[in-house]
Amino acid sequence: MARISSATIDEVNSRTDFVALVSEYTRLTRKNSNDYWGCCPFHNEKTESFHIIIDKGYYHCFGCGVGGGIIKFYQEMEKISFVDAVIALAKKAGVNVVYEGNTDYVPQPKDNRKELNTALYTRVAGTFHYFLTKTEAGKPVLQYLLNRGVSQEMIEAFQLGYAPKDRYWLKNFLLKKNYSNDFLNESGLFSNKYPDISFFTNRLMFPISNRNGDVVAFGGRILEGEGPKYINTRELVQYKKSETLYGFHLAKQEIRNKKAVIICEGNMDVIAYHQAGLNYAVAPLGTALTSEQIKLISGFVDTIYLSMDSDGAGEEATFKSIILCRQADLSVRVIELSQGKDPSEILLNYGVDALTNNVEHAKIDFDYLLYKMADKYPVEKPEGKLKAALALFPYIDALRSNIQKESCFEQLAMALGMNLEALKNDYANRNKTEKKYQRQIAEAQESEVRITVNPNAELRAILAVIANMDFFQYMRSNLSIDDFEDAAAKNLYIILEECYREGSVSSDNILAKCGNENLQQLIAQTVMSGEFNGNIEQVKLTIQESIRTVKRNSLERKRNKLMNRIRQFTPKNYAEHQQLIEMLNEKMALDAQLNSK
């Protein structure tokens, strides 16, 4: 069976810029030429527990325990197979993927719809942009944008476009470009019921891109007639609404720099903020803010600015978004728009300074909520105080810090004119049953989550060699699989032997073959700890001593088993006497080996 060659995997590892790759998912701080730290992209945290070592090609989080190599990092972040991760990284690094094991094998992607759809959407986005900027049909739409204050620079940056009125034009155009009818019918660009008719017609088009800037979907704004104001591409293999943010590919560098992000409601809001120089704004895509979208940006930011409409629906969306952000341990400020109903109107009528001023004077989220609750409920009456407090308890639940919770209790008691202890009692009673239940669930899950990997002498010997793989030849010359008793150590030795015979004893090959997640994390943690790094002679002595310990333990086990057999053996004839002599000779040989160790 054909497989990706070890040489290809090694080249992908050597040619991939590990720092640049990880920086796509979290902000990194350089400690020295070889070490970088950042907040872990695999879990929410405020302190930098995520560590990568460049020359080792390893990452490890000292918070949640995840770890591995370059390919495993990309595999886990993108939720794809090892093979797909190698192919994707090879494409990024310009590495030709070579297969081995079957010279007649022609690699066929298991499912390349994601790549094909992305290429199609990127091409169609260019076509729509051409219609907007270069054709007579697009001129009225272009003028509409200019009248709304959208600059030519923003039109180019966001690749805004126009889908023509002719409902059949796009299908005919793409068929002439040799796309198959079946492929186009499944692409999401055409009506399900009438597959020759374009889903987007006579609309202002907003290409929606992934983090790399590849177009994966569209949003379309109606220009005239009846119908929904905005429509979006349905979810497809390359596009998940809950995991995508409009404008993120353009905003991510400034988000890193600012350690902050503005989350607004719609595409035009994002464009207005960017045009005002506040180019760290993004927006969900026709849905409420999701935890997946928070995760997309949480590795880069400390503070989230929420810029929602001021109507009832906008206030509800703001409250839910605040809760999500606080659950991710992110600070939140709320932008209250003055002088206009949305950012584009403020920018058009009052200029950059007015919009910038709104951002600079954004309210701390709890101050904003206190003001809204006091306005919503009759807090001068006991029942109004209770309703306001109950409405704010979910916010306090979401806070990760006890100090923050205590501060909020004090602020809330003062704002409502309530006794602090009475307020806390109401909070505790409301949550008592639920918290007890949640604690029981958590304790039950905790007992099942991890199977402990015991770092005994055998496993430490293997880990020492994985951290210094040039010594595996020495290990295999002195130890065999039979010398290992620990199941995890035995498994790792077999994996190292397989990698050795394949000619690629690399970290990613080892991790790919190791199916135990706890063991993968221990490998990464050991390598990243530097325990087996340092002076090469000292490392060599440590490894030699570890191998001697494993060998000695193996010999002692063999001798003990043999001694038990000798004690229980009662020879009854000549043949059995000869067998006893052979066992005694074997024991003497084991004794001699042990004495030499």
The CA distance from 470 to 480, in Å, is 17
Per-residue pLDDT, averaged over 213-235, amounts to: 91
Are residue 155 and residue 214 in the same domain, yes or no? yes
Mean pLDDT over 423-436 rounds to 70
CATH value at residue 196: 3.90.980.10
Contact 468, 539 (CB under 8 A): yes
Helices 70-78 and 82-93 pack at an angle, to 10 degrees, of 110
Q: Establish if 504 belongs to a structural domain.
A: yes
Two structure tokens written together for 366: 């709890």
- Chosen domain end from 211, 239, 267: 239
Q: Are 396 and 408 in contact (CB under 8 A)?
A: yes
Let me know: does 587 contact 563? Beta carbons within 8 Å: yes
Return the structure tokens found at 27.
Answer: 């902000």
Share of the chain above pLDDT 90, in %: 39
Higher pLDDT, 134 or 513: 134
For residues 342 and 396, state if they share a domain: no
Residue 375 falls inside a structural domain: no
Q: What is the pLDDT of residue 451?
A: 35
- pLDDT tens profile 326-342: 999 999 999 998 877 88
**CA–CA separation, 485 and 558 (whole Å):** 11
Residue with tokens 């809204």: 372
Residue 364 has pLDDT above 80, yes or no: yes
Instruction: Count structural domains, the chain.
Output: 5
Rounded Cα gap, residues 466 and 508, in angstroms: 11
CATH code of the domain containing 298: 3.40.1360.10
Residue 30, beta-bridge partner list: 36
**Domain assignment of residue 431, given as a range:** 381-449
Confidence of residue 498 (pLDDT cuts 50, 70, 90): confident
- Residue of 344, 404, 149, 294 whose CA lies nearest to 306: 294
| Percent residues over pLDDT 70 in the chain | 90
Q: Is 106 inside a domain boundary?
A: no
Residues 421 and 321 in one domain: no
| One domain for residues 254 and 273 | yes
* Strand pairing category for 28-30 and 35-38: antiparallel
Give yes or no: residues 284 and 196 share one domain: no
Contact indicator for 297, 258 with CB cutoff of 8 Å: no
Tens of pLDDT, residue by residue over 47-90, are 889 999 888 889 999 888 888 899 999 888 877 788 888 988 99
Q: Is the pLDDT of residue 114 over 90?
A: no
Judgement on whether residues 296 and 202 belong to the same structural domain of the protein: no
- Answer whether residue 453 shows pLDDT above 70: no
Q: Indicate if the pLDDT at residue 464 is higher than 90.
A: no
Domain boundary among 210, 239, 268: 239
The whole-number pLDDT of residue 175 equals: 96
- Return the higher-pLDDT residue of 134 and 452: 134
pLDDT of residue 365: 96
Do 95 and 165 share a domain, yes or no? no
Going by pLDDT thresholds of 50, 70 and 90, the confidence category of residue 102 is low
Q: For residue 14, which of 91, 75, 90, 98 has the smallest C-alpha distance?
A: 90
Order of strands across the sheet with 203-209?
Answer: 161-163, 203-209, 215-222, 230-232
Per-residue pLDDT at 263: 97
Report if residue 404 sits inside a domain: yes
pLDDT band at 106 (very low <50, low <70, confident <90, very high): low
CA atoms within 13 A on the CB side of 217: 23
Cα–Cα dist 62/75, whole Å: 20
Q: Flag whether pLDDT at 287 surpasses 70.
A: yes
**Tokens matching residue 575:** 């043949």
Q: Which of 556, 561, 378 is nearest to 458 (CA)?
A: 556
The region of weakest confidence among 105-119, 146-160, 367-381, 536-550 is: 105-119
Tokens at residue 351, please?
Answer: 């200029």
Number of Cβ within 10 Å of residue 438's Cβ equals 11
CATH of the domain at 545: 1.10.860.10
* For range 207-230, the mean pLDDT: 91
Residue 89 lies in a domain: yes
Mean pLDDT over residues 344-371, rounded? 93
- Given strand 28-30, what is the order of strands in its sheet? 28-30, 35-38, 50-53, 58-61, 67-69
pLDDT-derived band at 436 (thresholds 50, 70, 90) equals: very low
Same domain, 502 and 588: yes
Domain shared by 445 and 485, yes or no: no
Residue 42 three-state SS:
coil
Q: What is the pLDDT of residue 107?
A: 56
The per-residue pLDDT for 596 is: 66
Q: Are residues 468 and 583 in the same domain?
A: yes
Q: How far apart are CA 504 and CA 496, in angstroms?
A: 9
Question: Hey, how many other C-beta atoms are within 10 angstroms of the C-beta on 27?
Answer: 19
Q: Kindly state the average pLDDT of the residues 130-143.
A: 96
Domain boundary among 306, 331, 361: 361
Give me the CATH number covering residue 44. Answer: 3.90.580.10
Kindly state whether residues 225 and 123 are assigned to the same domain: yes
196 by Cβ neighbours in 10 Å (0-12 / 13-18 / 19+) ranks as middle
Question: 372 lies in a domain?
Answer: no
